[in-house]
Structure 1
Amino acid sequence: MPGVTLSRWTMSYFATALVSLIIAELLMTVGYGYPNAPIRSAESLVLVHLTALGWLSLLMCGALHQFVPVLVARPLHSDVLPLPALACLVAGLAALVLGFLQMGGLLSAEMIGFPVAAVLLAVGFALVLWNLARTLWAARPLPLPARFVAIGLCSIAATVTLGIIFALVLGGVAVNPHLVDITAEGVPLHAIGGLGGWLTFTAMGVSYRLLAMFMLAPELDGPRTHIGFYCGAAALAVAIVGGVTAICIGASLPVILGASGLLGLCALVLYGADILRLYRARKRRVIELNSRMAAFALASLAAAAVATAVFVSLGALARHIAPVVFLVVFGWLSGLGLAKLYKIVAFLTWLECYGPMLGKAPTPRVQDLVVEARAVRWFVLYFLATWAATVALFFQNPTAFQVCTGLMLIASLCIIGQLGRIRRLLDVNPTMRLPTGARLPQLLRCSVQQR
């Protein structure tokens, strides 16, 4: 494939992210954190940040380093920066976990975790943002999927800024009254910026391109898609900018969040209509496992949106926020991430191993690297366990929740096993596995080749 390059450290991001997912699921299975501890306890905050930072954010960073160049048909600004960025992010996450453990009195040591985490995470995300933003800037005017990513990058910048403020205040470094107020009241804004802007809005933009690519469907760029984009961007601006302003001047934060929620709901409805259109307009009648499982993830997002609307109308959102967030994090974002990883790892492995062999020797197809009939059972188990865990949270049954997260853990480990088999080419026909001149890919590092 002429001009195709591989981001050298994307697989390292994916592997580190998957380790964080397994740790988080293991902790939930043994009863660590919510619902066996208060939702704002140190244990729960460790779980939240292992999932949001360690799993989902590292997964998103690794994917964007590879696919932003695909979205804009330009090379990544730097293939050197991702490695130091990964090192800073992992070290920053470790320091943040240390800070939460110190805050909860679980470790008796000087409170240095939060300030160190603030510096390391700021540097790590700054390197990611610089690299991706420079890539996007060089490709102006941006196609619509890339504009979703650009808003996502603005959202993570705001989310990290809020997180740094929290860390400095909790670490006793910052005492400004406005910063203290933001720390006390700004957790919903931090969550909206991270889960809503950085992870969901970015995933929406990337999914427009990936679903169209993998299902052979026409790319969408019509009025409905543009309106959805503007509604989503406005929702994030109202929530983050308006929310911070409201906190600083003492205005009503719930009114701001309500307006943002209405705009966000409009964006999700329009996005859902677009995705249905993609599935119906596809040329590939029998779709691959990753696209079938993406439909499960999208169903989780739809269920979370409907549940949110119902709980708001009943005045019960605060009481039931935990199952809604769990469904968004593990049903929508994690489910979509695992589904797309199954295709992305196979696709990148094929490019690395067999791309240079095209026209020189018989090569397998991308689908020949996977055995969908074996993997599908683990994806189905993952989603069924996630939905059951959501129900257990709704009914406040910690024992049932732990059983369900244990099943999620088993399913995740088995899916990771399938990814490892793909990377080692274990399911490729031995007669075509390594043609002359091909080489077995490394597990954690891609070779960058200009072709």
Structure 2
Amino acid sequence: MIGTSLCKWVISYFAVAIVWLLLAEVLVVAGFGFPNHDIGGPDTLVIVHMVSIGWLSTVLCGALFQFVPVLVARPLYAERWTLPALALLTFGLTILLAGFLTLGGHFDGPPRLLPVGASLLIAGFALVVANLGMTLWSARPLPRPARFVAAGLACICVTAAFGGMFSLVLSGAAIGAQWPDLLVSGVPIHAIAGLGGWLTFTAMGVSYRLLAMFMLAPDGDARLGRLAWLAGVAALAVGAVGGVLALWRATGVNLALLLAGAAALLSLIAYGRDVLGLYRARKRRALELNTRMSLVALASLVAVAILSAAFVATGSLPSHVGALAFLVAFGWLTGLVLANLYKIVPFLTWLETYGPVMGRVPTPRVQDLVDERRTLKWFVLFFAGSWAATLMLLVDAALGFRVAVAVVTLATLGLGEELIRARRLADVAEPLRLPTGAVVPHLLVLRN
């Protein structure tokens, strides 16, 4: 990474994303959305899209703008597109949420809010996909982690397309006998492409590179990596393409979802074994906090796979979808993202501040920008709260769920403060904090 160009607006993506996460958590603690309201109702859709688009998608876009060029050893195709994409995603989501709030009767707004918001989001994601897609295209043949990202970019296109159609149906702009069926049967495809393809599959690809880099491990097993990618792509293709064909032929999507689930389980098993191999082959014996917490997040993903298989076997999956979705979104994805942000933000800050003077004056290490002992308690609270919240959903204890999410919110605030401290160099010892030639970084913008 030394000498790598820094994407100017990456930290802004991270900051906007964390704000959305905190807003969603506060609303859940206040009793807004599931389980106090219907899982498919407008209030729940507000929370779902705050987390999936505002938090996870925004932070993932920012990370990809910085790390896709590292994965493929090519410069980002058009850095000037990154700020307009952030603006479109933020304004589009805000308008979309206003549409859901109107649908839920919280205020009187025009029915076109939903399609307008969806259109802005589609435009924002189009900029993201075009920018990253052209960067990947210039680097063919792609290395293994980049192939996961490419599949994830295809999935966000499917997700956005279905989201746009849903916005037309919910706003009343699309009228016809076929549209209500699309709304009912198309939601699983929308969720698979978004949560499974765009967010999880892309995170798997990026984590391959980050875990190997942070653990000083060699590349993983090529056969396991290939199996994880092929099985994952098969799962996404069967779930999305097969689901679309099933909708078109009006045959239902259950068979497509069952086959996709089996392929996804195989992909996760191969991925988990490969990551375990990275851990065993690592040269850094004492793991840093971010890597340890990434492995804890991976344990949540394993729990999701085990619980899903158990619920399918017992026929109770429909009644536990909300709990599983929460564990995927928070225990796995949010936990993984926060763990990696705890390394990425100090790492980028170190490159920005000390990279230009390295070798000419004494400089601190990257780990000197953070205090792992102080931060550990926030990660413990976060994962404990996430698992407790999942348990409360499984036993249908709405109040207990809100209390557990309050713990998660507190931990998120604590981790957010740690990231700000890293940007401010607050934990760097004074003799090394600002050597000659180094400049205090801006809070939200990287100097590239």
Q: In the TM superposition, what whole-angstrom CA distance separates every residue of 1:207-249 from its partner, at most 9, and x where no partner exists?
A: 0000000000011251121011100001000000110110111
Distance 2:279 2:206 in 1: 16
Structure 2 residue 114 is matched with structure 1 residue 122: no
Q: In the TM superposition, what whole-angstrom CA distance separates every residue of 1:337-372 from its partner, at most 9, and x where no partner exists?
A: 000000000100000000001111100010111110
Query: Match for residue 338 of structure 1?
Result: 338
Distance 1:440 1:319 in 2: 52
Q: In the TM superposition, what whole-angstrom CA distance separates every residue of 1:3-50 from its partner, at most 9, and x where no partner exists?
A: 411011000000000000100111111111111111111111100000
- Structure 1 range deviating more: 2-11 or 56-65: 2-11
Q: Judging changes above 3 Å, is the alpha-carbon distance between structure 1 residues 133 and 277 closer, same or farther for their aligned structure 2 residues?
A: same
Query: Match for residue 250 of structure 1?
Result: 250
Pairwise mapping of residues 136-285 of structure 1 onto structure 2 (< 5 A)? Answer: 136-175=136-175, 177-285=177-285
**Paired AA for residue 87 in structure 2:** A
Whether the 8 Å CA contact 2:389–2:404 is kept in 1: the answer is yes
Distance 1:22 1:185 in 2: 31
Instruction: Give the 3-state SS of the residue equivalent to 2:431 in structure 1.
Output: coil
Aligned-pair CA distance for 1:261: 0.3
**Paired AA for residue 338 in structure 1:** L
- Structure 1 range deviating more: 50-59 or 101-110: 101-110
* Structure 1 alignment gaps of length 5 or more: none
Distance 2:359 2:298 in 1: 39
Distance 1:78 1:6 in 2: 13
Query: Match for residue 303 of structure 1?
Result: 303
Whether the 8 Å CA contact 1:182–1:248 is kept in 2: the answer is no
Distance 1:39 1:70 in 2: 39
Aligned-pair CA distance for 1:184: 2.6
Query: Match for residue 103 of structure 1?
Result: 103
**Paired AA for residue 340 in structure 2:** K
Query: Match for residue 433 of structure 1?
Result: 433
Whether the 8 Å CA contact 2:9–2:82 is kept in 1: the answer is yes
Aligned-pair CA distance for 1:2: 5.7
Distance 2:235 2:254 in 1: 14
**Paired AA for residue 49 in structure 1:** H
**Paired AA for residue 83 in structure 1:** L
**Paired AA for residue 106 in structure 1:** H
Query: Match for residue 41 of structure 2?
Result: 41
Query: Match for residue 75 of structure 2?
Result: 75
Whether the 8 Å CA contact 1:88–1:120 is kept in 2: the answer is yes
Q: In the TM superposition, what whole-angstrom CA distance separates every residue of 1:66-96 from its partner, at most 9, and x where no partner exists?
A: 0000000100001100100000000010011
Distance 1:10 1:31 in 2: 32
Query: Match for residue 418 of structure 1?
Result: 418
The number of equivalent residue pairs is 448
* TM-score using structure 2 length: 0.99
Whether the 8 Å CA contact 2:149–2:201 is kept in 1: the answer is yes
* TM-score using structure 1 length: 0.98
Q: Judging changes above 3 Å, is the alpha-carbon distance between structure 1 residues 177 and 245 closer, same or farther for their aligned structure 2 residues?
A: farther
Query: Match for residue 375 of structure 1?
Result: 375
